[in-house]
Amino acid sequence: MQPQVLLIFQSRAGESAEMLKGIMHYQRTHRPWVVSLHGDERMESDSSWVRSQKWHGVISYDTTPFLIETCSKLLLPLVDLSDSAADRSVSKIRPDNIAIGHVGAEFFMDRKFRNFGFCGHSNFAWARERQEGFVEALELVGHRCDVFEVDHPKEVTPAWESRQTSMLAAWLRTLRDETAVMACDDRCAQQVIRAAHAAGLMVPEKIAVLGANNDTMQCELTEPAISSVAINAFEAGRRAAEILDQMMCCERPYFAVDIRVEPQGVVTRKSTDVLAMRDKNVAMALNYIREHACEGITVDQVLERAFMSRSQLEHKFRRFVGCSPQVEIRRAQVAKISELLSETDLPLKEIAEQTGFVHVEYMCVVFKRLTGETPGQFRARTARRFEQPWAVA
């Protein structure tokens, strides 16, 4: 008999969508489940729909105390994917927020920043943990960090947004030029950028801004686009499915687990690009590469924008960026190839065309040289399919 599993996800976009793909991946590669996907807000007060079928397990991204109590009474295994504080009676899979802060700090330090700030929410444990990790990593090597914290309301109003922008702008004006600011998440990073604009501070020329969660839509729709620490939501979903499967198979009482999932790293966009490049010509060249690498540009075309000789460009790139202009072009292309391989089902020929390669064979050679994997191996390991195999209630 196939297990009947209830998934509770009010949102099916961004981070939660990646978790659903991880769950889907696990159940496709192990014993199949009969899955129903719900997003009904009645779960806060009405347990009748939870009791309506003989469920074998529940995975929830929108976990409430009422749901925990209901599952406990029904002896129903529950895995919680929210980033709220852990409940000792419930198995929980969540991001390693300390590590997210560490990754943010290391990203900025690798780019030679010397001044740092963190913007977060004092009433969210996950935000405080990310701040703790960021500050800790900086202090270990002798750097200090300016911190801005406010309580985040349950309901965000235009009046609160306006006050927040004013307070943030005032704080940003107190920071030194060339300060690298990490925000607790991408929405907060968006607020920092709005406040910087209100304060007349250019991003990233005066203030570099890094978010977290890598909500692609939110990051890409902001100007400048937000660099962000990518949490591994896909792996969180996969681990949740794995833990639930073990719980459903266990005939004896099971013990709740609290598993932290390591972040994937930083996805670099414009909000952190220029500040550490103290040479303006290098900054212009780097921006040109990031914007046009997938058009198949050459180093000669970069030289036209950098206003320096090839030898000067090579020397300064190795000093400020840590590699040659040609390698930086390839890095940008490979980053886009990786995104298309994992997020789409496009054939390699079309991916080559979209990333500036005339010959798909050469694209494959470049990709393997920089990543150690063929495009096919990378796609098999990371691809996130978009089909919906479940009945959605």
Which domains are assigned to the chain? Answer: 4-96+233-263 (3.40.50.2300), 97-231+267-272 (3.40.50.2300), 280-379 (1.10.10.60)
What torsion do the CA atoms of 271, 141, 371, 210 make, to the nearest 10 degrees? -20
Q: What is the pLDDT of residue 253?
A: 61
| Whole-structure pTM value | 0.73
Which stretches of the chain score pLDDT less than 70? 12-13, 40-47, 49, 86, 251-253, 274-278, 383-393
- Within the chain, what is the greatest distance between any pair of CA atoms? 73
Q: What is the pLDDT of residue 274?
A: 61
Residue 336's identity, in one-letter code, is K
Report phi then psi at 92, rounded to 5. -135, 135
Q: What is the pLDDT of residue 280?
A: 77
Q: What is the pLDDT of residue 41?
A: 62
- Contact indicator for 320, 277 with CB cutoff of 8 Å: yes
Q: What is the pLDDT of residue 388?
A: 43
- Contact indicator for 210, 182 with CB cutoff of 8 Å: yes
Q: What is the pLDDT of residue 43?
A: 60
CA distance 249 to 242: 11
